[in-house]
Amino acid sequence: MTGEDNKCGQCGRSRVFTTCLGCGTPMCEDCSRFELIGSGCGCVWPVYYCKTCVCDPSINPNALLRD
């Protein structure tokens, strides 16, 4: 990663940990939100979302379970 790709899209820090599964924004460890997404076959996948996508039920199926 070079240039803007190595900066967090949320806070601007220069250390990127992962990208948001919903929108593809690069994020640092502090800004990423961890979720476990399950399917009907019993599989569970670890995913990371940004602060916006984690609360959007059209992107994160677990968003409806949040307060």
* pLDDT at site 28: 95
**What are the respective helix, strand and coil percentages of the chain, to the nearest 5?**
20, 25, 60
Q: Which domain range does residue 47 map to?
A: 3-61
- Domain count along the chain: 1
pTM to 2 decimals? 0.81
Q: Looking at the domain assignment, is residue 40 inside a domain?
A: yes
* pLDDT at site 21: 95
Q: Looking at the domain assignment, is residue 66 inside a domain?
A: no
Cβ contact 40:19 at 8 Å: no
Per-residue pLDDT 10s for the chain (67 aa) are 455 568 999 999 888 999 999 999 999 999 999 999 988 888 999 999 999 999 999 999 989 887 6
